[in-house]
């Protein structure tokens, strides 16, 4: 199949307006004859469900948590970008577009990214109208902060809880539509598969997580808004339930998976303390506005600190290496995430890491506290400092924070065209679950923006075009495809429940995580990736022989839920490794040791790799086929990214 | 450290539950409370037993999923945090820890430590929103909002919907939770048009769900992990009575 991204022709700034005009409309009286399934109630799903219901469609929404408000978006901390230029500091839609393309190391589509920047301004308006309490200045107008990879202040925030406030805003809009009877909400339901009829998505199969009932739901279109797959690494900043199951099942039904190896490793997370650790905690990027990243200048000093013979605060200015400020004077501590992470890793590899494990660098607020006062710092970051203290038992007002990179976000995801449609007709993908706007590295505060752009301002237009084409005739809920798909789901559950080996599902998950982090993490080599592939295959075989899954299907069974998710992660892991092997260049978060500049920065190979890698599933244990969507750049010039 | 746990086990909503003792050995003080339970569960699974079920997701105090009653207190002994933020360094070697689910008529037990809090969603559905359509919102800076007001609305808006306030209250009242939303929207200019309709709808739903009434004991505020202030309840009461007056004048 030839991939057609359906990016409209014409000048960049006119593409979206023109496209909107060209899309077919569904007549208002006909809208109520359509049903749309929305899986996921994070920013992408809640905003899509509310907006589509408002247009008049009947929406069925699903999430696996006990409430739509608990989707992982709730945990986002730092902020959301919007090209409002309220600060008069030179921001514009074009600059946000440019920063995003560059930040993504030129591996995203110009058309999509421009549209994202364009609607970013509407998002802020929408949220304020819903009652989202963004931070304000004394004059009563909205305040902004800066995020990595940009030299303007365009990030809107609500203390360190921006995701929570945005999601509660979207949740309130969703609630309004539930109240009006336009959305039917299914909580504690997990999507287990997509139902396709003649290659078009017509419904899903779900499991009621309390009763175990396997149900089918039919609809005219299905939207997957199921979030990212960072938990393939076991340890990540994602919530425990984040999974790839919905996207993976769609992949197996024909949706191509794009750029699976593009993973974002976030530079500022609280370091790992032990084997028992179940997740990692992010310290928001916004902290790099006022915190300075450093490490001891020499190995010897680092050694003393690790042994507890010397305290960080006792180290003389001259003995500190503010390595980001030193190497990147223009952006300093605000370089993009991939660059900051790689530099921290380098310091640790050189033996200059701190903390008892030696796997950390410092993020220091001493200078800001003396300049602004402790109260001002507390007002901006109080909840993050509290969180740090709670976890580490150390006071970051007195001692610098210890931080280290951790898996945070996945740029890869289901391939979608400009309309957010996957390669399966009628199946759409929004938010972190799709691969679109962030290329090989996402800029901070842009995921929330993308999720809400997709849900509030893109899908309400593009979905109508498809629905108008297929017409409002009823879906045959009795079509045999529903029973067949359901049977597959039941068979697989039974297979999982028959596993009575000697190793827990979490043990497999942890092992998979080790393999991925070691060989497909911050630095990748051909040799390592080949090794990883073998290890994952062995792990998969072993899982289906020796895992233990307790209990039965007809009950609340968290062990069974987890088993299904981990089994899917193992399969995804192999595809990520294949993708990383194929891409012999370095770009953004994908760093192949074989491809670096003399200064050790990621070296792209635009002649051979300026494409989106979209993978097609060919059956169990079969190699997947690679389809390339060439990226066309008409407006920006591809250059070696520099933040010096 | 070595600990004895007494955990509420209940197969499903209809079954009778009981406290069952477990031994948790070699617990590291750096572990979180839920990681300690993970280890216990790994041991149970290895024996082929049903692991202890509890709700959790973000594990950083923001999603509101976790909900354990620990030694008689919602979210355990420490102020201002959720169960998932509690670390084992808050306990001592050889302690016995009693772990139970939220106890309230409005939150029936589903299994073990997991309860059904969907009543909270239904209260929000009844009126916890501003009726604004997607698109057509005015520029975000058109209405300035004094910083103190915005900050106060934000404070109310930080409620995570965990239900500890209900679990802490001897009347199982949901007033703190409901008033947090009512206050947030009543403080903001955008929330004014529906202000009085909202409070009535939400209170009516709260009553219909079987939550008790408020007798001002303040236990909710004391146990709330987000330190939501009881002032919100006063604000809600004021609006509720104003709403009634307005209605009688109509
Ligand atoms: C700690 C942290 C901080 C962050 N901070 C920021 C920030 O400051 N700024 C920023 O821009 N971005 C930030 N991000 C990234 C951003 O939060 C996410 O990318 C974004 O919220 C994802 O939203 P989503 O709607 O795509 O998915 P999610 O919010 O993850 O929602 C997924 C939904 O899908 C449902 N679901 C998943 N699988 C299934 C299934 N099989 N069946 C049924 N339902 C399913 C879930 O129940 C949930 O409702 C942060 C991320 C983390 C981890
Ligand atoms: S008011 Fe506090 S205790 Fe009650 S639900 Fe909200 S956060 Fe939880
Ligand atoms: S697990 Fe999210 S608040 Fe505790």
**Cα–Cα nearest to A439, from A611, A574, A233:** A611
**Cα–Cα nearest to A412, from A566, A540, A575, A529:** A575
How would residue A275 be classed by pLDDT, with cut points 50, 70 and 90? confident
HSE toward the beta carbon, residue A58, CA cutoff 13 A = 14
Ligand nearest to the CA of A239: 1
Cβ–Cβ contacts within 10 Å for residue A9, how many? 9
Q: Do B139 and A173 touch (CB under 8 A)?
A: no
End position of a domain, from candidates A384, A408, A432:
A408
**What is the distance between the alpha carbons of residues B153 and A78, in angstroms, rounded to a whole number?**
19
Altogether, the residues listed in chain A come to a count of 644
**Same domain, yes or no: A499 and A619:** yes
**Alpha carbon of A73 to ligand 1 centroid (Å):** 4
**What is the distance between the alpha carbons of residues A293 and A312, in angstroms, rounded to a whole number?**
12
Per the DSSP assignment, residues forming a β-bridge with B69 are B74, B100
> Residue A542: inside a domain, yes or no?
yes
Strand A58-62 relative to strand A35-39: parallel, antiparallel, unpaired? Answer: parallel
**Same domain, yes or no: A403 and A500:** no
HSE toward the beta carbon, residue A242, CA cutoff 13 A = 31
| Structural domains in chain A (count) | 2
- H helices present in A330-435, as ranges: 337-349, 366-372, 374-392
**Alpha carbon of A239 to ligand 3 centroid (Å):** 9
Give the pLDDT of residue A418.
98
Domain that holds residue A347: 267-408
Mean pLDDT of A514-524: 96
**Is the pTM higher than 0.95?**
yes
Report the range of poorest mean pLDDT among A118-122, A281-285, A416-420.
A281-285
Q: Do B184 and A133 touch (CB under 8 A)?
A: yes
Q: Do B48 and A548 touch (CB under 8 A)?
A: yes
Three-state SS letters, A580-641:
HHHCCCCECCECECCCECCCCCECCCHHHHCEEEEEECCCCCCCCEEEEEECCCCCCCCCCC
CA dihedral for B195, B200, B203, B205, sign (positive or negative): negative
How would residue B4 be classed by pLDDT, with cut points 50, 70 and 90? very high
Q: Are A236 and A592 in contact (CB under 8 A)?
A: no
CATH value at residue A591: 1.20.58.100
Share of chain A above pLDDT 90, in %: 92
For the stretch B234-246, pLDDT in tens is 999 999 999 999 9
**Statement: residue A24 has pLDDT above 70:** yes
**Same domain, yes or no: A296 and A396:** yes
DSSP state of B52: P
Element (H, E) at A184: strand A183-186
How would residue A146 be classed by pLDDT, with cut points 50, 70 and 90? confident
Q: What angle do CA A183, A82, B181 make, to 5 degrees?
A: 45
In which region does residue A523 sit, left (phi positive, over 0), alpha (psi from -120 to 50) or beta (all else)? beta
**Same domain, yes or no: A383 and A496:** no
Mean pLDDT of B64-75: 97
> Residue A158: inside a domain, yes or no?
no
Helix, strand, or coil (residue B2) = coil
Q: Using CB atoms within 10 Å of the CB of residue A525, give its burial: 0 to 12 exposed, 13 to 18 middle, 19+ buried.
A: middle
> Residue A277: inside a domain, yes or no?
yes
Cβ–Cβ contacts within 10 Å for residue B138, how many? 11
Q: Do A274 and B28 touch (CB under 8 A)?
A: yes
The Cα of B128 is separated from the nearest Cα of chain A by a number of Å equal to: 6
**Same domain, yes or no: A296 and A398:** yes
For the stretch A541-560, pLDDT in tens is 999 999 999 999 999 999 99
Domains and CATH numbers, chain B: 3-111 (3.10.20.30), 118-246 (1.10.1060.10)
End position of a domain, from candidates A388, A408, A428:
A408
Strand A413-414 relative to strand A401-410: parallel, antiparallel, unpaired? Answer: unpaired
For the stretch A583-614, pLDDT in tens is 999 999 999 999 999 888 899 999 999 999 99
**What is the distance between the alpha carbons of residues A456 and A475, in angstroms, rounded to a whole number?**
26
Mean pLDDT of A559-578: 98
Strand A80-81 relative to strand A155-156: parallel, antiparallel, unpaired? Answer: antiparallel
In which region does residue A88 sit, left (phi positive, over 0), alpha (psi from -120 to 50) or beta (all else)? left
- H helices present in A255-373, as ranges: 299-306, 323-327, 337-349, 366-372
> Residue A380: inside a domain, yes or no?
yes
**What is the distance between the alpha carbons of residues A576 and A521, in angstroms, rounded to a whole number?**
11
**What is the distance between the alpha carbons of residues A103 and A100, in angstroms, rounded to a whole number?**
5
DSSP state of B88: G
> Residue A555: inside a domain, yes or no?
yes
* Interface membership of B43 toward A (CB under 8 Å): no
- Counting ligand 1 atoms within 8 A of each CB, the residue from A226, A383, A435, A567 with the most, and so the one to mutate, is A226
Report the range of poorest mean pLDDT among A305-319, A378-392, A603-617.
A378-392
- Counting ligand 1 atoms within 8 A of each CB, the residue from A50, A70, A73, A269 with the most, and so the one to mutate, is A73
Q: Are A45 and A36 in contact (CB under 8 A)?
A: no
**Cα–Cα nearest to A166, from A84, A272, A73:** A73
Cβ–Cβ contacts within 10 Å for residue B116, how many? 17
Give the nearest chain B residue to A177 (CA atoms).
B125
Give the pLDDT of residue A359.
93
Would the CB of B163 count as within 6 Å of ligand 2? yes
Give the pLDDT of residue B250.
66
**Statement: residue B249 has pLDDT above 80:** no
Residue of A476 and A483 predicted with greater confidence = A483
CA-nearest residue for atom 3, ligand 3, is: B61
End position of a domain, from candidates A385, A408, A431:
A408
Q: Are A186 and A60 in contact (CB under 8 A)?
A: yes
**Same domain, yes or no: A617 and A495:** yes
Q: Do A47 and B134 touch (CB under 8 A)?
A: yes
Set A337, A352, A604, A641: catalytic member: A337
Q: Using CB atoms within 10 Å of the CB of residue B2, give its burial: 0 to 12 exposed, 13 to 18 middle, 19+ buried.
A: exposed
**What is the distance between the alpha carbons of residues A593 and A524, in angstroms, rounded to a whole number?**
6
Q: Are A162 and A79 in contact (CB under 8 A)?
A: yes
CATH value at residue A313: 3.90.700.10
**What is the distance between the alpha carbons of residues A230 and A234, in angstroms, rounded to a whole number?**
8
Q: Do B81 and A47 touch (CB under 8 A)?
A: no
**Same domain, yes or no: A378 and A271:** yes
**Statement: residue A21 has pLDDT above 80:** yes
**Alpha carbon of A70 to ligand 3 centroid (Å):** 9
**Same domain, yes or no: A518 and A619:** yes
When the pLDDT of each residue in chain A is averaged and rounded to a whole number, the result is 96
Q: What angle do CA A252, A258, A261 make, to 5 degrees?
A: 105
For the stretch B75-134, pLDDT in tens is 999 999 999 999 999 999 999 999 999 999 999 999 999 999 999 999 999 999 999 999
Cβ–Cβ contacts within 10 Å for residue B154, how many? 21
**Alpha carbon of B174 to ligand 2 centroid (Å):** 9
How would residue A357 be classed by pLDDT, with cut points 50, 70 and 90? confident
* Interface membership of B25 toward A (CB under 8 Å): no
How would residue B144 be classed by pLDDT, with cut points 50, 70 and 90? very high
Cβ–Cβ contacts within 10 Å for residue A56, how many? 16
Report the range of poorest mean pLDDT among A1-5, A130-134, B61-65.
A1-5
Q: Are A516 and A232 in contact (CB under 8 A)?
A: yes
Strand B114-115 relative to strand A35-39: parallel, antiparallel, unpaired? Answer: unpaired
Option in A50, A122, A387 nearest B60 (CB): A387
Say whether A337 is catalytic: yes
**Alpha carbon of A520 to ligand 3 centroid (Å):** 29
Give the pLDDT of residue A444.
92
Helix, strand, or coil (residue A397) = coil
**What is the distance between the alpha carbons of residues B176 and B159, in angstroms, rounded to a whole number?**
9
Option in B34, B55, B190 nearest A131 (CB): B190
Report how far apart, in Å, the C-alpha atoms of A612 and of each of A107, A198, A329, A624 are: 7, 27, 32, 15
**Statement: residue A337 has pLDDT above 70:** yes
**B positions 104-123 inside 8 Å of A (CB):** 110-111, 114, 116-118, 120-121
For chain B, the farthest-separated pair of C-alpha atoms sits apart, in whole angstroms, at 68
Give the pLDDT of residue A159.
87
What are the contacts of B17-24 at 24+ separation with CB within 8 A?
B17/B109, B17/B112, B19/B98, B19/B100
Give B234's contacts (C-beta < 8 A, 6+ positions apart).
Answer: none
Option in B58, B110, B185 nearest A556 (CB): B110
**What is the distance between the alpha carbons of residues B222 and A469, in angstroms, rounded to a whole number?**
57
How would residue A273 be classed by pLDDT, with cut points 50, 70 and 90? confident
Give the pLDDT of residue B200.
97
Q: Are B67 and B55 in contact (CB under 8 A)?
A: yes
How would residue A284 be classed by pLDDT, with cut points 50, 70 and 90? confident
DSSP state of A453: I
Report the range of poorest mean pLDDT among A308-317, A485-494, A573-582.
A308-317
Helix, strand, or coil (residue B63) = coil
Give the pLDDT of residue A512.
98
Give the pLDDT of residue B140.
97
When the pLDDT of each residue in chain B is averaged and rounded to a whole number, the result is 97
Give A141's contacts (C-beta < 8 A, 6+ positions apart).
Answer: A86, B141, B144
> Residue A143: inside a domain, yes or no?
no
- Please state the φ and ψ torsions of residue B248, each to the nearest 5 degrees: -70, -25
**B positions 207-226 inside 8 Å of A (CB):** none
> Residue A426: inside a domain, yes or no?
no
Give the nearest chain B residue to A390 (CA atoms).
B85
Q: Do B134 and A556 touch (CB under 8 A)?
A: no
Size of interface A-B (CB pairs under 8 A): 216
> Residue A181: inside a domain, yes or no?
no
Per the DSSP assignment, residues forming a β-bridge with A403 are A361
For the stretch A217-260, pLDDT in tens is 999 999 999 999 999 999 999 999 999 999 999 999 999 999 99
* Interface membership of B56 toward A (CB under 8 Å): yes
Q: Using CB atoms within 10 Å of the CB of residue A359, give its burial: 0 to 12 exposed, 13 to 18 middle, 19+ buried.
A: middle
**What is the distance between the alpha carbons of residues B88 and A555, in angstroms, rounded to a whole number?**
31
**What is the distance between the alpha carbons of residues A113 and A15, in angstroms, rounded to a whole number?**
11
Option in A138, A240, A559 nearest B51 (CB): A559
Element (H, E) at A222: strand A221-224
């Amino acid at each position: 199949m030839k991939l057609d991204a359906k990016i409209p022709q014409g000048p960049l700034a006119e593409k979206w307006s023109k496209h909107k005009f060209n899309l077919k409309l569904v007549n208002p009286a006909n809208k109520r004859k359509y049903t749309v399934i929305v899986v996921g109630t994070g920013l992408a799903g809640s905003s899509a469900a509310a907006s589509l219901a408002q247009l008049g469609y009947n929406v069925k929404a699903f999430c696996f948590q006990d409430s739509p408000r608990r989707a992982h978006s709730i945990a986002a901390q730092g902020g959301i970008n919007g090209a409002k230029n309220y600060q008069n500091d030179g921001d514009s839609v074009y600059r946000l577009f440019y920063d995003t393309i560059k930040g993504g190391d030129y591996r995203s589509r110009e058309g999509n990214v421009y549209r994202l920047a364009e609607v970013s301004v509407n998002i802020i308006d929408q949220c304020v109208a819903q009652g989202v309490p963004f931070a304000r200045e004394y004059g009563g107008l909205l305040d902004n902060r800066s995020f990595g990879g940009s030299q303007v202040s365009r990030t809107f925030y609500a203390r360190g809880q921006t995701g929570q406030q945005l999601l509660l805003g979207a949740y309130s809009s969703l609630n309004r539509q539930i109240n009006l009877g336009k959305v039917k909400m299914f909580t504690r339901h997990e999507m287990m598969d997509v139902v396709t009829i003649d290659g078009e998505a017509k419904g899903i199969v779900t499991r009621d997580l309390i009763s175990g009932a396997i149900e089918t739901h039919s609809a005219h279109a299905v939207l997957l808004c199921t979030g990212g797959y960072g938990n393939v690494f076991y340890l990540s900043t994602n919530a425990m339930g984040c999974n790839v199951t919905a996207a993976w099942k769609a992949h197996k039904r024909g949706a191509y998976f794009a750029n699976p190896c593009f993973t974002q490793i976030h530079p500022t997370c609280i370091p790992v303390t032990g084997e028992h650790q179940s997740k990692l905690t992010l310290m928001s990027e916004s902290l790099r506005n006022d915190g300075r990243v450093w490490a001891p200048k020499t190995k010897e000093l680092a050694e003393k600190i690790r042994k507890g013979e010397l305290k960080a605060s006792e180290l003389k200015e001259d003995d500190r290496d503010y390595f980001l400020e030193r190497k990147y004077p223009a952006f300093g501590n605000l370089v993009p995430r991939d660059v900051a992470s790689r530099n921290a890793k380098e310091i640790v590899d050189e033996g200059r890491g701190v903390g008892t494990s030696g796997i950390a660098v410092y993020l220091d607020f001493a200078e800001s506290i003396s300049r602004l006062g402790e109260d001002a710092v507390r007002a901006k970051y109080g909840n993050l400092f509290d969180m740090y203290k709670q976890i580490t038992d150390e006071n970051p007002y007195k001692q610098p924070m210890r931080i280290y990179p951790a898996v945070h976000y996945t740029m890869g995801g289901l391939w979608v065209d400009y309309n957010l449609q996957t390669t399966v007709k009628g199946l759409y993908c929004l938010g972190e679950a799709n691969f679109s706007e962030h290329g090989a590295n996402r800029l901070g505060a842009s995921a929330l923006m993308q999720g809400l752009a997709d849900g509030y301002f893109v899908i309400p237009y593009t979905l109508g075009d498809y629905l108008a084409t297929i017409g409002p005739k009823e879906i045959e809920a009795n079509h045999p495809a529903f029973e067949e798909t359901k049977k597959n789901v039941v068979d697989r559950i039974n297979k999982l429940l028959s596993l009575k080996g000697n190793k827990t599902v979490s043990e497999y998950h942890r092992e998979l995580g080790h393999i991925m982090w070691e060989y497909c993490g911050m630095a990748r080599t051909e040799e390592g990736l080949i090794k990883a592939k073998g290890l994952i295959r062995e792990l998969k075989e072993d899982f289906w022989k020796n895992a233990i899954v307790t209990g039965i299907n007809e009950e609340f069974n968290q062990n069974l839920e987890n088993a299904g998710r981990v089994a899917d992660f193992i399969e995804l892991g192999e595809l990520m490794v294949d993708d990383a092997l194929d891409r012999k260049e370095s770009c953004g978060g994908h760093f192949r040791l074989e491809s670096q500049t003399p200064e050790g920065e990621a070296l792209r190979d635009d002649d051979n790799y300026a494409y989106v890698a979209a993978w097609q599933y060919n059956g169990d244990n079969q190699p997947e086929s690679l389809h390339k969507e060439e990226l066309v750049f008409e407006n920006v010039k591809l250059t070696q990214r520099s933040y010096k | 450290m070595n600990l004895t746990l007494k955990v509420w086990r209940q197969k499903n909503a209809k079954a009778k539950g009981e406290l069952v003792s477990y031994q948790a050995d070699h617990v590291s003080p750096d572990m979180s409370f839920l990681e300690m339970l993970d280890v216990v569960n790994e041991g149970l699974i290895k024996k082929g037993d049903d692991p202890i079920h509890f709700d959790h997701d973000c594990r950083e105090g923001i999603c509101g999923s976790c909900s354990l009653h620990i030694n008689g207190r919602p979210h355990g002994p420490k102020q201002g945090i959720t169960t998932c933020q509690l670390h084992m360094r808050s306990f001592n070697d050889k302690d016995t820890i009693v772990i139970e689910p939220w106890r309230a008529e409005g939150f029936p037990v589903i299994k073990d430590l997991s309860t059904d809090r969907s009543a909270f969603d239904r209260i929000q559905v009844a009126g916890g929103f501003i009726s604004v359509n997607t698109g057509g919102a005015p520029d975000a800076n058109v209405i300035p909002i004094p910083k103190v007001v915005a900050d106060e609305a934000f404070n109310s808006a930080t409620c995570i919907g965990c239900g500890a306030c209900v679990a802490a209250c001897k009347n199982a009242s949901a007033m703190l939770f409901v008033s947090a939303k009512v206050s947030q929207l009543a403080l903001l200019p955008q929330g004014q048009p529906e202000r009085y309709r909202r409070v009535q709808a939400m209170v009516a739903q709260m009553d219909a769900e079987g939550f008790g009434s408020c007798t001002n004991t303040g236990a909710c505020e004391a146990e709330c992990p987000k330190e939501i202030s009881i002032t919100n309840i006063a604000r809600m009461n004021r609006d509720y009575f104003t709403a009634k007056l307005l209605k009688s004048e109509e």
